[in-house]
Structure 1
Amino acid sequence: MIEEKQQLENAVNEALIFAQQLGVDQAEVALGKSTGISVNTRLGEVENIEFNHDGAMGISVYLNQCKGSASTADLSLEAIHASVKAAVDIAKFTSKDPYAGLLDPESLETAPLDLDLYHPTRCTTEDFLAIAKECEDIALSSDSRIVNSDGAAFNSHASIKVYGNSNGFLHSYATSRHSLSCMLIAQQQQEMQRDYSYTSGRDVKDLLSAKWVAEDAVKRTVERLGAAKINTQESPVIFAPEVASGLFGHLVSAISGMSLYKKSSFLLDSLDTQIFPKWMQIAEDPHIIKGIASSPYDQEGGKTTKRNIIEDGILQTYLLPGYASRKLNMKSTGHAGGIHNWFIKTGNLDLAGLFKEMGNGLFVTELMGQGVNMVTGDYSRGASGFWIENGVVAHPVHEITIAGNLKEMFMGIVGVANDVDQRSSLKTGSILINKMKIAGQ
């Protein structure tokens, strides 16, 4: 690994040196190389085995604030030089952009941390297949209502990321990611339902067991049997952690640089204003050891730092890569490439306690469709889950639509349970919203 990283860094350095020899004002080079395997089994048989071995170098140059980009999968000296020349030629024909360019040197990370993100496995293809088969076998034999399977899958991937620019930045780091999943089909009379479960992590040793994934997939699938529509109404809604993370994902989009400078966000001019209840806290920590979204620096080499996104319900920061920060006349926040590990503050209640606090209402476990208007915040999506009556699950629900406005939904959050989904990079428990419109029958 050390030797390979050095070779890739040398390739990036060669591209930067050649770009400067051609007289560019600035240059940046990103090089990624990934290898991995994906195996799928279904009903005890091998469904497919896929190997991947990918790599490419992306080169961007700036001439008088005109940008040109080119890429190559061939890392020979001739191919690198040809790609740099192509980028320079393109820059000569692009429009001038006063906001184009690299991060300022003071914004670059000078001493990247080792975050322990690389954990390759010595497991063989046969080992991966055995784990997937074990998971599916346990699931299929555990409940007579599980009548079929969409299969179990094991994925294992590793990559090296190198980034360098003409402001003196050149660093690299390696990552790994492993996951096991299982999707099942349950039947009760003429009704059929499908659901799944999974586990993932940087290190195979940190994955939950095949037995856990199988049993969780079975539980989720059979619980959906007996689903019915409910009447159109307005009621409280609880979002399960796996869909609550998506709700906060809309916050990410709304406070990201591109949405802001294009004025396509419902949270324009919301910095330092209250957008959540006063008790709400959201923190980001890019430097969690083995973290799913940890990063020693962002995709532009920018510093990644621990920060509060929401403090006492007040928006503390936008999420700005270099280009957006210049457009908005602000400083980069180290978010080129997206967010890092987010932590939503939870309360003392578990999910059962949140049900009791809600009393009667809807518990959403799955969302469908993309009915979210990021300009207005209007929210309307297909949903399924469970109807809660007097604080306990009454029956599963499907074929409904929930609607509201994200501004009102954020301010209407009553509580966050402590049932945090540790598999996600955006860690939240179930959230209770005071009211939403439900379209049923």
Structure 2
Amino acid sequence: MERSWIGVLTVMLLFAVVFQKGSCVPVQAKESWGYVDVRDGAHMFWWLYYANSSSASYEELPLVMWLQGGPGGSSCGFGNFEEIGPLDRDLKPRETSWVHASSVLFVDNPVGTGYSYTDSEGALTKDVAMVASDMMVLLKYFFSLKTEFQSIPFYIFSESYGGKMAAAISLELTKAIQAGSIKCNFAGVALGDSWISPIDSVMTWGPYLYSTSFLDDNGLAEVNKAAKGVQQALEQGQYQKATEMWSITENVVEQNTNGVNFYNILTQDPDEMVKTSLVQSSEGLLSSLKRRHIRPLHRQSLSELMNGPIRKKLGVIPKNVTWGGQSGAVFVSMAGDFMKPVVNIVDELLAAGVNVTVYNGQLDLIVDTVGQELWVKRLKWDGLQYFNQMKWTALEDPQTENQTGAFYKTYKNFAFYWILKAGHMIPSDQGPMALRMLKMVTQQE
């Protein structure tokens, strides 16, 4: 079950070479990659970049695992080339790459995402418990293979649904370390714009959009009514129905806001608006959700990159596997898990002494900051009362002198970062601020 196909199979640590218009462009970052069979018929792909810093060796810097959302979004694709990897989508060096401050492990998770694949749809994951179980197999293999990372502080950073999965994975990892089945120095988890309590997000969409002038009184009433339908289904334990009602609520939001971007309310994709108006009346509810939340992670230019030069560079992707080819199936397979909260898991992590960070973008709608604050205020964590009484601290924008880029509060093993001028994909919108936050969370500042 833990057989792995590694990079060029000899597990060589090599200087990366990517192919751009027929030429080779060297990237000064050691890399390694491969597959792990996490279950029969379930194959998970990982890609490691060793830290590339002019001031410290990788042994002196933390290891960060990045988990994308969706579910069905590719860490090795979107997270890597659109957000925090050493190269951007045009294969040009990224100044704000997290590889400058840490080694970064991208994992295409759950199986079926990105380059990860299953032999049949029956092997796809159904919920976060299954996702976490698969990840334990991968991490056990990884730290057994890369023994040099066993003592290096290991952090899990995440985005969107990746945060929901990260919470469950972190709890299982804590248990595995205590049981001695995985040897690593787990230092904390960071939940970025994370789908921890879906209903708190949905129920605050209306008020948030109203306060930012995207809804009038009539629109607010319509959105709130649709959101109430999601809440009622959830209270009745009808999780699949709650997911469908969530899709309906998103349609109501789009109709009343002229197609507001769920990932950044201040940006709008004209092509996407046209598509929305054409397909909204005819597509199914899950198809509507896939259109909004999976397709943006698989833009044609990124798909061409991943299925072309990057696939050639890696050299281990099976011929029958297309990057992102099973992403829609992953999304549908997890549909019954969408609206289930994992706030209790965050409470368990805090009680176990795990360092937990929440960070959120000011301009995000799908997981708005107001909703995040609601579930945080319901935590049973014994430090919550003091945390709530604290005043936040302003952080200067690294790009603009004398401009506030974020606020943060931290107490004991919990921290919250409010990132200004950023939407759902914080490293894409505010790369310098995201990099500074990384350094603070990993105790480099």
With the shorter chain as reference, the TM-score category is: under 0.3
Select the structure that is richer in strand: 1
- Where relative contact order (Cα < 8 A, 6+ residues apart) is larger, the structure is 2
TM-score, reference length from structure 1 = 0.28
TM-score, reference length from structure 2 = 0.28
